[in-house]
Amino acid sequence: MQLLVHSVSVDLNNDASLVIDIPDALCERDKVKFTVHTKTTLSSFQKPEYSVQRQHEDFIWLHDTIVETEEYAGLIIPPAPPKPDFEGPREKMHKLGEGESSMTKEEYAKMKQELEKTVQVHEVFLQRLSSHPMFRKDRNFQIFLEYDQDLTVRRKNAKEMFGGFFKNMVKSADEVLISGVKEVDEFFEQEKNFLLDYSSKIKDATAKAEKMTRSHKNVADDYNHISGALNNTAADNNTAFKKHLEKCAEVFEKLRKVEDRMASDQELKLTELLRYYTRDIQAAKDLLYRRARALADYENSNKALDKARLKGKDVAQAEENQKQCLQKFDKLSESGKKELTSFKARRVVAFRKNLIEMTELEIKHAKNSVSLLQGSIEILKSN
């Protein structure tokens, strides 16, 4: 079953030299196949324009290879998109595949909304990469965009090579590490405090937004049930009463659509925004971890050098080690500072864009409701 979903992305396609979008997604059984469409003027690519089919796992592979790349340690790695979650509709999809049952309008609408969300988040991931001066040059990224075959084989190889070592290492680092580090740099000290605080607040806001959105959708569902019950009551009736009931049922049905749209737009623009930045904050924190680790390594290398000098053994080696650790740490600090600064700006821009879009959409939907209700009230009164 094909569901075409127009992307609702945070527009990161500022640079025309590499423009990526996901114009549609195919929903098959419980797999989603994204169509990744690229337009480029860069010579490093073989063709100026092409489309490939990718699955969620391919995105994860790409993310993981980037995380594992030592070179990118000083950058904020764009967070991996979460796995598409279809819950109930998934079972339906299975059944559909086997040729049984059919989806109700409700289920179809829910699937479409989920699909919209997942397309948006996968698209943003790619666009973050394409808009970053270093990531866009990544070889694997290019393969991801260009390679017209299945990436499954490569994915398997990658797993064998890295074994997820570095990733695990980063993940297991806890906040004690960064908060414990003696920070000499004012900038990083401030950033650390801000990120820790912000991280917990945004996680909380995301959870609360999710609950609110769910309630909103429940209300829309109730309108649907009321509409059905009104129609049933009308069917049994044979008086003038019948027309009123039918009209009322119609109103509830239309209201449901609007309410549903309101809920899902709020989800797409606000809840998804908060979700995304919760993950992005985590990516920024990961950067701080890596820098803190580099600092720890440097401090250790200093101690090792002192010991070596005392013992008079392997001094040169220790000196070399110390130099490298310092280099690494400086590099991370320098690029880290740049990344975190642009992260701030990016965050503000994204919030602004999404809040404006959400507000405009909510106004539009509420106005639709107003005219729908006004019209219906007129009709009912005039009867």
Partner 1 sequence: MSGSCGRIPPPFPDNEDQEAESDTRVLDSDEDDDDEGEDIFTGARSNPITPTSAPDEGDIFSEEGSYIRSDVHHATNGLHPDEEELDLFTEATVELTLTNTTSQGRREIIGPTASACNTTQVPNSILKPSIVTKTTEELEEEESGDQFELNIAVTNPEKIGDGMNAYMSYKVSTQTTLPMFLNKTFSVRRRFSDFLGLYEKISAKHSLLGCIIPPPPQKSVVGMTKVKVGKEDSSSAEFVEKRRAALERYLQRVVAHPSLLQDPDVREFLERDELPRAVNTQTLSGPGLLKMINRASDAVNKMTIKMNESDNWFESKLQEVENEEQLLRRLHAAVDSLVNHRKELCSNTAVFSKSVAMLGSVEENSALSRALSQLAEVEDKMEQLHQQQAFSDFFILAELLADYIRLLGAVRCCFEQRMKVWQRLQEAQSTLQKKREAEAKLLWANKPEKLQQAKDDINEWESKVSQYERDFERVTCTVRKEVLRFEKEKARDFKQHIVKYLESLLHTQHRLVKCWEAFLPEAKAIA
- 49 by DSSP, 3-state: which? strand
Residue 147: which of 52, 255, 13 has the closest Cα? Answer: 52
**Contact call for residue 88 and partner 1 (CB under 8 A):** no
Strand partners, 26: 2, 33
CA-CA distance, 383 to 368, in Å (whole number)?
23
Our finding on whether 296 is near partner 1 (CB under 8 A) is: no
Q: How many Å apart are CA 267 and CA 116, to the nearest integer?
A: 11
Task: Provide the token pair at 381.
Answer: 């009164």
Among 50, 108, 166, 194, binds partner 1 (CB under 8 A): 194
Tell me the number of residues near partner 1 by CB under 8 A: 59
Query: Is there binding between residue 223 and partner 1 (CB under 8 A)?
Result: yes
Phi, psi of 280 (to 5 degrees): -65, -40
Q: How far apart are CA 342 and CA 135, in angstroms?
A: 15
Judged by CB under 8 A, the stretch of 81-89, 130-138, 181-189, 241-249 that binds partner 1 is 241-249
Contacts of 325 (CB under 8 A, 6+ apart): 294, 297, 298, 300, 301
Cα 174–177–180 angle (5° rounding)? 135
Pull the structure tokens for residue 172: 């297991």
DSSP-derived 3-state class of residue 236:
coil
Residue 209 is a binding residue for partner 1 (CB under 8 A): yes
* CB of residue 238 to partner 1, shortest distance in Å: 7
Please tell me whether residue 282 binds partner 1 under the rule CB under 8 A: no
Q: Which of 225, 307, 309, 313 binds partner 1 (CB under 8 A)?
A: 225
- Pick one of 41, 157, 218, 327: the residue that binds partner 1 (CB under 8 A): 218
**13 lines the binding site for partner 1 (CB under 8 A):** no
Q: Judged by CB under 8 A, does residue 179 bind partner 1?
A: no
Q: Decide: is 337 part of the binding site for partner 1 (CB under 8 A).
A: no
Residue with tokens 């950067």, as numbered in its chain: 287
Question: Quick one: which segment of 99-107, 175-183, 244-252, 328-336 binds partner 1 (CB under 8 A)?
Answer: 244-252
**Single residue of 155, 198, 296, 304 touching partner 1 by CB under 8 A:** 198
Candidates 57, 85, 204, 334: give the one binding partner 1 (CB under 8 A): 204
Residues 248, 268, 295, 308: which binds partner 1 (CB under 8 A)? 248
Distances (CA, A) of 229 to 225, 226, 258, 364: 6, 5, 19, 29
Regarding 18 and contact with partner 1 (CB under 8 A), the answer is: no
Is the four-CA dihedral 199, 204, 208, 211 of positive or negative sign? positive
Q: Name the site residues for partner 1 (rule: CB under 8 A).
A: 194, 197-198, 201-202, 204-205, 208-209, 211-212, 214-216, 218-219, 221-223, 225-226, 228-230, 232-233, 236-241, 244-245, 248, 251, 255, 344, 347-348, 351-352, 355-356, 359-360, 362-363, 366-367, 369-370, 373-374, 376-377, 380-381, 383
